[in-house]
Chains A and B, each alone.
Chain A
Amino acid sequence: MKNNILLLIFISFSTLLFSQEKSVISDLDELKLDIGQIYKPTTFSVDNQGKKYDCERVYYYYKKGAFSMTGKVMEFNRSKGTIKAVEPGYHEVVAICYGSGKSIRRTFNVTINYPKVKSIDIITGNESIYTDTYIPISYKITDQMDVVRDIDYWKSDNAERYFSNLEFSISSSNDKLNIDDSNNVLALKSGSATINVVFDGIKSSKTINIKKNPVANINLNLKKPEKVRTGDVINLNADAYDKRGNLISDVKLKYSFTGKSFDKSNSASGLILQDGRFVGDVPGKYILTASFGNTSKSKIVNVFQRKVQREVKKIGAGSVNDKHTSDFWVFEGVDKRDYAVTGTWGADGTAYFWDVTNPSDIKKIDSVQVDARTVNDVKVSPDGKIAIISREGASNRKNGIIIIDVTNPYDVNIIKEYTKNLTGGVHNLFIDEKHVYALSAGQKYYILNIEDPTNPVEVGMFELGKEGQAIHDVWVEDGIAYSSNWRDGVYLVDVGNGIAGGTPSNPVAFGNYTYDSGANHATFPFKSKSTGKFYAVMGDEIFPNGVNPNGTNETAGFLHFVDFSDVKNPVEIARYELPGHGSHNYWIDNDILYVGMYTGGVRIVDISGDLLGDLYKQGREIGYILTGTADGYIPNDTMVWGAQLYKGHVFYSDFNTGIGVAKVSELKPNNSMTNQYVD
């Protein structure tokens, strides 16, 4: 027995000894490679006694993965055990040492050197340089692989990326220039000076001619309404003159503002662009200035409250509280009465039909149930005869669309199931005249001719034609299809407008705009009645904290107003962002926006006049309603899906409550119940 105990102790000790933790050692650690260099690392493992073990196999991989949106950073030849450097930068490489059926891993930092700089061009623009002004410098850097990078003051991320790793210095040949700690260059004296730059050991110089600042006077004019309200865009127009009163045309004046809020608990806020446009967000006194060097001219503007708020009252609802409601469409039937159709989400494939002729007495009049779990989108033809609903979650995984005869909305009939090329699920669709635009598996859209609704014919298809192409929605107006493509933004596609020679069978893309968040979920075209400008209003869909199954979901994102008046040069000019709530679907009519802001309810926003900056902050909101109800699918949880203005009523659908109607009153909000102080 004693011997057995000793044996047991010995075995335990041996096991402990031979099961020591091992670590991966590799000469990948802090390795530096040049682009194109192929390297075969040496990798092995050691135990905590320092004993070395060979790996039966070694795997190397880029830690951000084979699927990397940044492109291929390294190439791994696993049969040869080599790494090829592709993309310059600071990267993490994982080495897995495999042996005896076990694997251990460690992450190593590998730097792929930027190619050496070959040449630097110092760019100072075409305008004359005057004393007392800052010189707008940018650099065009060409490396030895002939990759050209433009770096300017505003692209600080690029500047940091390259300058932080490499020696950079800038100096002046004389005291005519002053260079501050942030490398800004101020012209002090007239005459000639040379800017000297050293970047990555490569020198470059540019001699500039500094003229004496001739500006003695500035004439500043404001083009503005008689009474300026928050959100009103003022155009500043300034000219510079010399001391003899001659107009100086080759100077670029700077515009700026300061201000003070009328409300001492608030701060003045606004935006001024260097083309002279200014908008005040907050009521207050603003000093608007045009300047050049040390000469300036200012004007003072009082900005008053916009005062567009109106009372918004709920006047009717059609409850769906045993399942989620998705999109909806309100339409005039062939009998001239008013009807609506609503979809359902994550349920049993039902779409409901409603008589909404009397908005205060909405009646559920019929329904269809199809083989699906989600009927995400519903649309009705302009003549009120045909409804189309989308399918997701069909039991046979052949989703497609369902075409319904709604000539009699009290007795609707399915007339066609269409699945060709649409089996992967149709998330959104649109009817324009005789064509249906149906998304396919979130990647592209097909165009179907439904002149004979019992026999739809595929006539066209539009896709971006790139790896990872994704689409969420399509909307058609005036022969232009606006597809919302997440990170690829909006695509304007001619499907019959004629602007680019497109037709439904030959869709031709002619415009595109993307933004950094990559969350483009819906787009609505907007021709401003008051200004004639044309915008694509691009909406986000963002759930910053994912799904909360037990209550209110946090939502984010906003509407981007992109001025598409020049389709080749779209400019994002304004936003509607409701703090704490995210955007979903929306409608624009007569320069008023009706938007479902998910948890923020239905919001009605004045978007008349020129648009600039933060529309919410400018007090453009006319009113809102919250739509959660105590008997909702999730009780008291407002989750507005979208809104539609129809015959003067604001219809909406809510994820938890069904369909509802509100009316914007001419009356101002009744604030008799709000807290007031007595002065």
Chain B
Amino acid sequence: MIRFILFFLVCNFVFSQSYYVYVASESDDTVSLLKFQNNEINELERITVGTYPTEIEGPHGITVDPSGKFWYLSLAHGNPFGKLVKYSTESNEVVDETTLGLFPASMQVSTTTGFLYCVNFNLHGSMKPSTVSVVDPVTMTEITTITTGSMPHGSRISSDGLYQYSVAMMSGELFEVDALGLEVSRTLDLESKKMKMDGMKSMDGMKHSVVKPTWVIPHPKKNLAYVAGNGSDEVIEVDLDAWEISDRFKTGKGPYNLEISPDGKLLIGTIKSEGKTAIWNLEDKKLVGEVKNTTSVSHGIAISSDSKYAFISVEGIGGEPGIVDVISLENYKLISSVEVGKQAGGIAFWKQDNL
């Protein structure tokens, strides 16, 4: 009897967990706050963002600060510079904002420095080096910009908060920024020798990457990082100690975002061109799951802090709504989906509650 009661209590605890996620919809100028509970995800609130009701400002990147008190949103389009806007998670109201560079995109706050590092993607600009903006989120001041490569994307911070990683999509490089020193500490060319021999194209003297890296995620427990080769349809493993490529493994067409479960066991990737989400076991780098997303153009990934669920944003096409799919990281199945604004992209896990 006691065992039954204990089992019931454990089950009740497990199934009463609530997970909260923010997702940005780039073509609707909205952010949705979502709640996943009892195997069902729902939209709690849709927050309109931006300043111009008749201009698309393009919310692209989103992140929640380590305290969970604020979320930050990058607006890609301005006149012409984009913005970083700080919101309260308590009220979902704007707290402050600052101007960044051209097409500010993905970002993260370092638990160590407290600074926010946001890449200025400059997606449609000329093939020239862009920057990482370093912002003090307390005063919402861009305190410096660090020049990296052409079309930088995928800003992620090492678990110790000391390094920021991003990849340059056009120049095919991985950049490591010293989060304390606020300067590039190392650069790694992600092209293979073969690519350099016969794949690399040159136009106006600029490098056009074959790999077209779009994301990098450092491992939470090991000195490894994983890069999405959007153009070469592969994941590239980088040994951060040796600062060299330690492995490459093939994916479906167009891997875009990558995240690693907080327990360090699984690598999750969106396969953008196929509208799928792939899951690899990082012990042997074998594909353990592949889930067809609800619509096309799979984009971002957020993983619950207990490593049980992946929340995938799916853009859709034209007038289709954006979608957030919830995938179980225990059985690699699609559990639930919810419609959000058009072109769902940036997604961030906020918190996990016990009811």
Interface residues of A (CB under 8 A from B): 57, 59, 61-67, 76, 78-79, 94, 96, 98, 101-103, 105, 107, 323, 326, 345-350, 369-374, 392-393, 395, 397, 423-425, 427, 440-443, 468-470, 472, 486-487, 541, 543, 546-549, 553, 584, 639, 641, 655
- Which label, helix, strand, loop or mixed, suits the secondary structure of the B interface? loop
- Partner-contacting stretch, out of B21-29, B244-252, B278-286: B21-29
Known A-B contacts A78-B181, A543-B51, A543-B53; A67 and B27 likewise in contact (beta carbons under 8 Å): no
Q: Does B113 contact A (CB under 8 A)?
A: yes
**Any chain A CB within 8 A of the CB of B354?**
no
Q: Which of B29, B52, B111, B180 contacts A543 (CB 8 A)?
A: B52
Indicate with 1 or 0, residue by residue over B318-337, a CB within 8 angstroms of chain A CB atoms: 11100000000000000000
Measured CB to CB, the nearest residue on chain A to B28 is A346
Which of B80, B98, B111, B183 is the one whose CB lies under 8 Å from A469? B80
Q: Complex formed: what's the CA distance from A232 to B71 in Å?
A: 56
Closest to A584 in B: B54
Contact residues in B for A424 (Cβ distance below 8 Å): 123-125
Q: How far is the CB of A62 from chain B (nearest CB, A)?
A: 8
Could you say which of A67, A345, A546 contacts B100, with CB atoms under 8 Å apart?
A67
Q: Are A374 and B27 in contact (CB under 8 A)?
A: yes
List residues 77-113 of chain B with CB under 8 A from any CB of chain A. 77-81, 98-101, 111-113
Q: Are A345 and B54 in contact (CB under 8 A)?
A: yes
Binds A, one of B142-150, B184-192, B260-268: B142-150
The answer to whether B112 and A486 have CB atoms under 8 Å apart is no
Q: Which residue of B lies closest to A399 (CB)?
A: B124
Tell yes or no: B119 within 8 A of A by CB.
no
Residue contact A470 to B79, C-beta cutoff 8 Å = yes
B56 touches A374 (CB 8 A): yes
Q: Which residues of A contact B182 (CB under 8 A)?
A: 59, 78
Q: Are A372 and B53 in contact (CB under 8 A)?
A: no
Interface residues of B (CB under 8 A from A): 26-29, 48-56, 77-81, 98-101, 111-114, 123-125, 133, 136, 138-139, 141-145, 161, 180-183, 296-297, 315-320, 342-343
CB-contact partner of B143 in A61, A441, A469, A470, under 8 A: A61
- Assuming A57-B180, A96-B136, is B51 touching A547 (CB within 8 A)? yes
CA distance A584 to B29 in the complex (A): 20
Q: How far is the CA of A472 from the CA of B113 in the complex (A)?
A: 38
Give A17 to B230 CA distance when docked, in angstroms. 53
Q: Which residue of A lies closest to B81 (CB)?
A: A468
| Contact between chains at B318 and A546 (CB < 8 Å) | no
Q: Is the pair A546, B51 in contact by a Cβ cutoff of 8 Å?
A: yes
Q: Shortest distance in angstroms between A348's beta carbon and chain B's nearest beta carbon?
A: 2
Bound state CA distance, A468 and B29, in angstroms?
23
A66-B143, A393-B26, A425-B124 are known contacts. Are A553 and B53 too (CB-CB below 8 A)? yes
A98 to chain B: which residues have CB within 8 Å?
113, 180
What 3 pairs across the A-B complex have the smallest Cβ distances? Answer: A348-B319, A424-B124, A549-B48
Contacts of A470 in B (CB 8 A): 78-80
Bound together, the chains give a CA A392 to CA B296 distance in angstroms of: 18
A61 touches B144 (CB 8 A): yes
Which among A350, A469, A546 has the greatest number of chain B C-beta atoms within 10 A? A546
**Supplied contacts A371-B317, A373-B319, A470-B79, 16 more A-B pairs, CB within 8 Å:** A65-B143, A67-B81, A103-B113, A105-B138, A346-B27, A346-B29, A371-B318, A373-B318, A392-B56, A393-B27, A395-B343, A441-B80, A442-B77, A468-B80, A543-B53, A584-B54
Q: In the complex, what residue of chain B is closest to A397 when comparing beta carbons?
A: B123
Q: How far is the CA of A443 from the CA of B80 in the complex (A)?
A: 7
Query: Which among A101, A487, A548 has the greatest number of chain B C-beta atoms within 10 A?
Result: A101
Q: Is the CB of B136 within 8 A of A94?
A: yes
Q: State in angstroms the CA–CA spacing of A373 and B320 once bound together.
A: 9
What are 27 residue pairs bridging A and B, where the CB atoms are less than 8 Å apart in the complex? A59-B182, A61-B143, A64-B141, A65-B99, A66-B144, A78-B182, A79-B181, A98-B113, A98-B180, A101-B111, A323-B319, A345-B54, A346-B27, A346-B342, A348-B318, A350-B319, A370-B318, A372-B318, A373-B56, A373-B318, A373-B319, A442-B77, A443-B80, A468-B81, A487-B79, A541-B52, A547-B29
The distance from the CB of B124 to the nearest CB of chain A, in whole angstroms, is 3
In the docked arrangement, what's the CA distance between A369 and B342, Å?
Answer: 16
Question: Which residue of A is nearest B141, CB measured?
Answer: A65
Residues of A within 8 A of B143 (CB): 59, 61, 65-66, 94
- Check if B319 sits within 8 Å of A347, measured CB to CB: yes
> Shortest CB–CB separation between residue A200 and chain B, in angstroms?
32
Q: How far is the CA of A393 from the CA of B297 in the complex (A)?
A: 13
| A105-B136 contact, Cβ under 8 Å, with A347-B319, A372-B318, A395-B296 | yes
Known: A105-B138, A371-B318. A76 touches B144 (CB 8 A): yes
- How far apart are the CA atoms of A102 and B161 in the complex, in Å? 11
Is the beta-carbon distance between B317 and A395 smaller than 8 angstroms?
yes
For residue A519, which residue of chain B has the nearest CB?
B79
A61's nearest neighbour on chain B, judged by CB, is: B143
Measured between beta carbons, the chain B residues less than 8 angstroms from A102 are: 114
Contacts of B26 in A (CB 8 A): 393
Residues of B within 8 A of A472 (CB): 79
The smallest C-beta distance from B112 to any residue of chain A, in angstroms, reads 5
- What separation, in Å, do the CA atoms of A469 and B145 have in the docked complex? 19
Q: Which residues of B contact A553 (CB under 8 A)?
A: 53
The reply to whether A101 and B112 form a contact with Cβ atoms under 8 Å apart is yes
Expressed in whole angstroms, the minimum distance between the Cβ of B171 and any Cβ of chain A is 18
Partner of A441, one of B53, B113, B125, B315: B125
Assess whether B124 is in contact with A441, with CB atoms less than 8 Å apart: yes
Q: Which residues of A contact B316 (CB under 8 A)?
A: 395
Residues of B close to A63: CB separation below 8 A = 139, 141
A672 to B318, alpha carbons, bound, how many Å?
Answer: 50
Residues on B with beta carbons closer than 8 Å to the beta carbon of A374 = 27, 56
Contact of B101 among A67, A346, A349 (CB under 8 A): A67
- Shortest beta-carbon distance from A441 to chain B in Å: 4
Closest Cβ of chain B to A344, distance in Å, is 9
CB of A462, distance to nearest CB on chain B (Å)? 15
Bound CA span A98–B318, Å: 47
The answer on a CB contact under 8 Å between A61 and B141 is yes
| Nearest CB of B to A406, in Å | 21
Residues of the A chain whose Cβ atoms lie less than 8 Å from the Cβ of B81: 67, 468
When C-beta atoms are compared, the residue in chain B nearest to A64 turns out to be: B141
In the complex with contacts A64-B141, A346-B342, A543-B51, A395-B297 CB distance below 8 A: yes
Which residue from chain B places its CB closest to the CB of A641 in the assembled complex? Answer: B54
B342 touches A373 (CB 8 A): yes
Query: Complex Cα distance A441/B56, Å?
Result: 12
Closest to A469 in B: B80
CA distance in complex: A393, B113 (Å): 35
Chain B residues with CB under 8 A of A96: 136
B56 touches A346 (CB 8 A): yes
A98 to B114, CA, bound (A): 10
A442 to B80, CA, bound (A): 6
Distance of A375 from chain B, by nearest CB (Å): 11
B111 to chain A, nearest CB (A): 8
- Chain A residues with CB under 8 Å of B320's CB are 348
Q: How far is the CA of A392 from the CA of B52 in the complex (A)?
A: 15
Contacts of B318 in A (CB 8 A): 348-349, 369-373, 395
Q: Give the residues in chain A near B144, CB-CB below 8 Å.
A: 61, 66, 76, 78
Cβ–Cβ < 8 Å partners of B78 in chain A: 470
Q: What A residues does B319 contact at CB under 8 A? A: 323, 347-350, 373
Which of A64, A101, A323, A395 has the most CB atoms of chain B within a 10 A radius of its CB? A395
Residues from chain B with Cβ under 8 Å of A347 in the complex: 319
Residues in A neighbouring B133, C-beta threshold 8 A: 66-67
Residues of A within 8 A of B27 (CB): 346, 373-374, 392-393
B215 CB to closest chain A CB (Å) equals 15
